[in-house]
């Protein structure tokens, strides 16, 4: 899918990759210079979804989170070439950023596409999407905001749907066809091999989110440990990073 370069309404920053204070909540108005709605992609990979979606929605601001510097540089290079003034990228652990740096009730959408499935049962505690994650995501979304997930792993999809449907702060909804049409390069590759995309979405309601404390999570069950333990959803599964920001 080709993307037509945009003519930005404001000057592009020197780099779309930003280095925020990791001890502070993000200030979206300062980051983008406007009050437009903000969407977040956790694990942006090579940016194939993020770039296309941002180009198609110039009135929405987008933040992509990714750990690998090479991928961030690719997003920066392509985003600047396309004139995407509504795009920023951050090199940080996805779980840390969502819990500690996103203001409450500030996001219009969260996208989580093909996170590491950690298929071995003893590794399920490392999975990003669990009940604790849904609580934090619900608190980050505005009422009516949506959480979108995709995976090609049936076991992980079952877990995603179970915890999403169990979250009192969410109502299950259908995904817009135009959003489903925007695929990642990784997704397009395995779709061509006959592997289907498993996808789901939930909308933030007005209920208080279901709360799960770390100590209440059963040993061996999916838990939240503040790290998503992956290099990104669109490439090889690497080791967990020792800190929240790579050097």
| C-beta separation of 185 from 46 below 8 A | yes
Catalytic residue among 21, 27, 46, 116: 116
Nearest CA to 135 out of 209, 213, 221, 226 is that of 209
Using only the alpha carbons of the chain, give its radius of gyration: 17
Strands 17-18 and 107-113: unpaired
Look-up: residue for tokens 């590794």? 123
| C-beta separation of 109 from 146 below 8 A | yes
d(CA 74, CA 57): 20
E-strand stretches of 66-184: 87-90, 107-113, 141-151, 170-173
Distances (CA, A) of 155 to 12, 33, 144, 159, 186: 42, 41, 28, 6, 19
Q: State whether the Cα torsion 22-28-32-33 is positive or negative.
A: negative
Please confirm, yes or no, whether 116 is among the known catalytic residues.
yes
Give the other-Cβ count within 10 Å of 176's Cβ.
12
Active site residues: 116
């Amino acid at each position: 899918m080709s993307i037509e370069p945009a003519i930005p309404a404001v000057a592009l920053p020197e780099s779309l990759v930003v280095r925020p204070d990791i001890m502070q909540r993000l200030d979206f108005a300062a980051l983008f210079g406007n009050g437009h709605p903000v969407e977040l992609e956790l694990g942006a990979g090579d940016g194939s979804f993020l770039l296309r979606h941002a180009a198609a929605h110039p009135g929405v601001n987008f933040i992509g989170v990714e750990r690998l510097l090479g991928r961030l540089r690719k997003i920066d290079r392509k985003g600047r070439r396309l004139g995407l003034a509504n795009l920023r990228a951050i090199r940080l652990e996805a779980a840390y950023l969502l819990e500690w740096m996103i203001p409450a009730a500030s996001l219009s959408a969260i996208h989580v596409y093909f996170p590491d499935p950690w298929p071995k049962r003893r590794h399920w505690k490392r999975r990003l999407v669990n009940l604790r994650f849904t609580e934090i995501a619900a608190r980050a979304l505005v009422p009516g905001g949506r959480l979108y997930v995709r995976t090609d792993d049936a076991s992980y999809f079952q877990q995603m749907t179970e915890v999403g449907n169990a979250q009192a702060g969410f109502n299950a909804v259908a995904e817009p066809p135009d959003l489903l049409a925007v695929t990642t390069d990784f997704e397009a590759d395995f779709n061509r091999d006959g592997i289907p995309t498993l996808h789901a979405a939930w909308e933030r309601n007005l209920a208080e989110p279901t709360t799960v404390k770390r100590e209440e999570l059963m040993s061996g069950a999916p838990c939240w440990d503040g790290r998503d333990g992956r290099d990104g959803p669109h490439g090889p599964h690497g080791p967990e990073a020792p800190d929240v920001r790579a050097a």
